Amino acid sequence: MSNAASITEGRDIKLTATSILNAVFERGVKVALAPVLGILAFLMIWSLAAQNIHTSLGQFPGPTDVWQQFGSLYNEHTTERTKATAFYERQEKRNAARVAKDPTYVPKIRAYTGKETYFDQIVTSLITVMSGFILAALIAIPLGIAVGLNSALRSGFNPIIQIFKPVSPLAWLPLVTMVVSAVYVSNDPLIAKSFLNSMITVTLCCLWPMLINTSVGVASLDKDLVNVSRVLRLPALKHVQKIVLPASVPMIFTGMRLSLGVAWMVLIAAEMLSQNPGLGKFVWDEFQNGSSSSLARIMAAVITIGFIGFLLDRGMLALQRFASWDKDSAAA
């Protein structure tokens, strides 16, 4: 009797062990194996397709060509850097020699004027997108709160938002360019005009999703929470700080994530169109250059852009998880 019982028990344990193993295996397949397989399949289809596409600039680059170009882009970067250090060393020596000869001589320091490398362009693009994004947030979030709190202001702003929201920011680009060159006149500009152009374009496209989401978040504030605030007689500023702002944080973050995604896409296009420094310009330059390696280099840029866009989104999500009380709304 007891024997039989222990046998059944033993089988039960075995069963659970295998089912756990199965579950672990299934999870492993989903988490690790499936994405790897997906990428491998993509690479295979890509390389097969690439072999059959012939352009005026030669065969369409396959994964290996692109990989090589990543290598050479990196090499170009390091060579450029060594050249720059060498230049500064030479300049320093020359200046030191002249000062030694003539103590009244004020040494001139000239910046290295070598070509921007691929990695410089990435950094430029990132700085531009972040500055435009932050500027937009500084405008849109306070404005969104004001619009959300005041229904008269909301009806006033609504037509403007509705009309400008669907406009591609690239349509603004020529206007921005002309206005910046007309208004921003300085002999020794602290910030390059081209940078301002792309930044303002990014700002213009970031503005709307953030403004709309913030104002909707604020306007849909639970009426009971407003009543709590009224019973406590919270002063207006404290009401915004303690009730309105925290309540709309999830929506604000949603707007910010949307904005950043759009901003990154728009920036690349803006840089291509306006010849502003950055990844977009790199793509355009390579296209104009038309060498045998151009297509592979553009493809490398495409992959980089995608990867950075992905990282920006993940970064925003991590920030949202850190800052927002509503963890549900921060799900991927």
Partner 1 sequence: MTPILDISHIDMVFPTPKGPFTALKNVDLKISKGEFVSLIGHSGCGKSTVLNIVAGLYQATTGGVVLRGKEVTEPGPERAVVFQNHSLLPWLTAYQNVELAVKQVFGKTKTKTETKEWIEHNLKLVHMDHAMHKRPDEISGGMKQRVGIARALAMQPDILLMDEPFGALDALTRAHMQDSLMEIQNELNNTVIMITHDVDEAVLLSDRIVMMTNGPAATIGEILEVNLERPRERLALAEDTDYTHLRSEVLRFLYEKQRKVEDISSVKKSKAKKRNDKNQHHAA
Q: How far is the CB of 159 from partner 1 (least distance, A)?
A: 24
Check residue 110 for interaction with partner 1 (CB under 8 A): no
Q: In this complex, which beta carbon is closest to partner 1, that of residue 307 or of residue 325?
A: 325
Q: Give the footprint of partner 1 on residues 187-226 (CB under 8 A).
A: 222, 224-225
Q: In this complex, which beta carbon is closest to partner 1, that of residue 239 or of residue 297?
A: 239
Q: In this complex, which beta carbon is closest to partner 1, that of residue 193 or of residue 242?
A: 242
Q: Give the footprint of partner 1 on residues 220-239 (CB under 8 A).
A: 222, 224-225, 227-228, 230-234
Single out the residue of 41, 65, 44 nearest to residue 299, CA to CA. 65
Q: In this complex, which beta carbon is closest to partner 1, that of residue 247 or of residue 296?
A: 247
Q: Which of 25, 105, 184, 325 binds partner 1 (CB under 8 A)?
A: 325
Q: How far is the CB of 278 from partner 1 (least distance, A)?
A: 38
Q: How far is the CB of 247 from partner 1 (least distance, A)?
A: 8
Residue count, binding to partner 1 (CB under 8 A) = 17
Binding flags for partner 1, 52-91, as an x/- string (CB under 8 A): ----------------------------------------
- Burial per residue of 47-72, b for 16 or more beta-carbon CB atoms within 10 angstroms, e otherwise: beebeeeeeebeebbbbebbeebbee
Q: In this complex, which beta carbon is closest to partner 1, that of residue 171 or of residue 228?
A: 228
Q: How far is the CB of 73 from partner 1 (least distance, A)?
A: 46
Q: In this complex, which beta carbon is closest to partner 1, that of residue 22 or of residue 227?
A: 227
Q: How far is the CB of 242 from partner 1 (least distance, A)?
A: 6
Q: Give the footprint of partner 1 on residues 233-292 (CB under 8 A).
A: 233-234, 242-243, 246-247, 249
Q: How far is the CB of 262 from partner 1 (least distance, A)?
A: 28
Q: Which residues form the interface with partner 1 (CB under 8 A)?
A: 222, 224-225, 227-228, 230-234, 242-243, 246-247, 249, 325-326
